[in-house]
Homo-oligomer: A and B are copies of this chain.
Amino acid sequence: MKEFLKTISYIEWENLLDNLEFKNDYIISSVFTARDHISFENIFAKENIPGFSRSTVDGYAVKSEDVKGASASIPSVLKIIGEIKMGEISEIKLNSGEAAKISTGGAIPEGADGVVMIENCEESDEWVEIYSSVGKGENIILFDEDYGKGEIIVNKGEILNNNSIQALIASGIYSLKIYKKLKIGIISTGDEIIDYKTKTREKGQIRDTNSFILSRLLEEMNETVVFLGIIKDDYNELYNIIEKNLNKFDLFLISGGSSMGTRDITYDVLSGFSKILFHGMRVSPGKPVIFGEGENKIFVGLPGHPLSSFISAYTIVLPLVLKMEGGNNYKITPSGYLPVDRNLSKKVGRESFIPSIKYKKDNGYFVRPLLGESGLISLIKESTGFIRISENKEGVYEGEEVEYYEF
């Protein structure tokens, strides 16, 4: 078997990502289809939001000085000069000694600087008795309190989610520049691998579920994913399928077969299309990763074991795709720091990503690492996420807090 030419640690992988250059264009998109896309530029509020000062309660808009010291025993009595209609700017202009009825969300009339809650008022025909004082600005949202005109709502490199889109449309922004999504080609290799849609399977064969789950994860990020098929562990087959599709994709993911010599084939083929930056990552599971950089194009050979493949999708593929697309926050970040519920030893010299179950006990969460072969898919199904133990550690003790990453 060919020696791994250059292995890197997971930290080195993250450094490599920091320095990776990929030229990605932008497109102009409707905000309504921009979810999961990455903003190409800072987006500023085009108008003040809410745009007018609003009441946050039902009650009476007043001049705060008119109700100074008002109480149940010594109420202020103000003249009702009208009611603010919802959805309109009233003509009402408040003078000293006057009040205007207002609903939650109603526009504060000119001259008013506070709203007394309806519970603290007693109205009778033209007059309202006010039983409490209000401070200047009390029960009011100012016209620019949400976003001032020109304020940044979304940053360049930020992933757009429902909440950022809500803020954009509230501000009247309906189109924006986003980075183009990648075109990704996936190839599965392995003499024993058969299409996952195959109903009847012979003994010795394994349904290829790696390409399924990899596609799903990428499709959820709105990437364009094309499955190029399953090929045998054969240099020419792999070479030909990549050459034929070379100009159609930004990123090729080659899900490895597991037979002896497979990784040599992937290495040899990828060398023909790219400069191999590393060959092997000091992680567990998932060591046999190959990474090649071509002309504004990336090639990644991924491990074939289902668990290794799945963990690599989270720790390698998704961060890579986010970085290639122009994202700011492409590195994996733990969902939390949780105590492990047992002692766990590991090999020094490999960053470990161990599928685990998060569960509640007493008043907190714990994680139970699932130990087993990386060829098992049930480990993926049963786990809620993975824990990470750094390269240099020999293991962790029961009760020690570890980084937990939820799927």
Contact = CB atoms under 8 A, between A and B. Distances in A.
Interface of A: 1, 35, 47, 49-52, 54, 56, 58, 85-89, 103-107, 118, 141, 145-147, 153, 162-167, 169-170, 172, 174, 190-194, 196-197, 199-207, 209, 212-213, 216-217, 233, 257-260, 304-306, 310, 335-338, 363-365, 373-378, 380-381, 401, 406-407
Number of copies: 2
A58 B209 contact: no
B166 A209 contact: yes
A282 to B, nearest CB: 17
Nearest to A376: B146
A257 B87 CA distance: 11
B203 A52 contact: yes
Given A86-B259, A206-B105, A376 B145 contact: yes
Contacts of A257: 86, 105
Nearest to A364: B337
A43 B335 CA distance: 30
A377 B260 CA distance: 57
A106, A162, A213: which has the most chain B beta carbons within 10 Å? Answer: A162
Given A107-B204, A174-B199, A377 B166 contact: yes
Nearest to A88: B204
Contacts of A86: 190-192, 204, 233, 257-259
Contact of A203 (B51, B141, B201, B260): B51
Given A87-B192, A103-B258, 4 more contacts: A49-B378, A87-B190, A104-B260, A165-B216
Contact of A381 (B106, B163, B260, B363): B163
Contact of A166 (B199, B212, B258): B212
A213 B163 contact: yes
A153 B381 contact: yes
Contacts of A58: 1, 260
A105 B56 CA distance: 65
Contacts of A207: 169-170, 172
Given A162-B217, A197-B174, A259 B106 contact: yes
B105 A213 contact: no
A194 B105 CA distance: 13
Nearest to A407: B163
Given A50-B375, A87-B205, A199-B174, A166 B381 contact: yes
A49 B205 CA distance: 11
A306 B166 CA distance: 10
Contacts of A54: 375
B170 A209 contact: yes
A208 to B, nearest CB: 9
A303 to B, nearest CB: 10
Contact of A105 (B51, B216, B258, B364): B258
Nearest to A167: B381
A373 B89 contact: no
Contacts of A259: 86, 103-106
Contacts of A233: 86
Given A163-B213, A209-B166, A375-B141, A118 B260 contact: yes
Contacts of A206: 50, 105
A104 B1 CA distance: 13
A87 B336 contact: no
Contacts of A200: 172
